[in-house]
């Protein structure tokens, strides 16, 4: 079951302890649909991540702006959870909406950026840039 970003934010609001929050992030990653071995290719690999991260984007035509759907995976538990949170923000939205969305506000709201290592933070930025790039290409 995929949660909306609003549900994830609400769930974070009930968890005070950061160790528990990390467990929740890992749990979110476990719920991601697995990517096939073929999808774990260099084409789908996100550059700039220390852990291996793959993002698959698909888009369908819509009257205004293409709608993008994202799937992703990682070889690291916490990073896989970050992928799940990121996908809940962007997947199923129009390319125009993706361009204007400020995911940093969401991560600030749940306090996540302050509790990530610099490497994970850089990887998260790389994921966000990749999603915005895929949205630009779809337009």
Tell me if residue 49 is catalytic. yes
Maximum CA pair distance of the chain?
Answer: 45
**Choice among 5, 8, 49, 85 that is catalytic:** 49
Alpha-helical regions (H) of 1-139 = 5-13, 18-30, 77-90, 95-100, 103-109, 118-138
The answer to whether 52 touches 39, Cβ cutoff 8 Å, is no
First to last CA, the chain: 29
Catalytic residues: 49
């Amino acid at each position: 079951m995929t949660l909306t970003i609003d549900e994830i934010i609400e769930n974070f609001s009930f968890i005070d302890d950061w160790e528990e929050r990390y467990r929740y992030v890992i749990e979110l990653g476990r719920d991601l649909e697995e990517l096939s071995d073929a999808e774990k290719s260099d084409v789908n690999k996100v550059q700039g991540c220390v852990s291996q991260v793959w993002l698959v984007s698909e888009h369908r035509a819509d009257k205004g702006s293409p709608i993008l759907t994202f799937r992703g995976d990682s070889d690291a538990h916490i990073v896989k959870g970050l992928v799940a949170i990121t996908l809940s923000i962007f997947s199923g939205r129009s390319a125009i909406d993706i361009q204007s969305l400020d995911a940093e506000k969401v991560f600030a709201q749940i306090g996540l950026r302050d509790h990530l290592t610099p490497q994970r933070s850089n990887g998260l930025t790389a994921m966000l840039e990749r999603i915005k790039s895929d949205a630009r290409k779809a337009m």
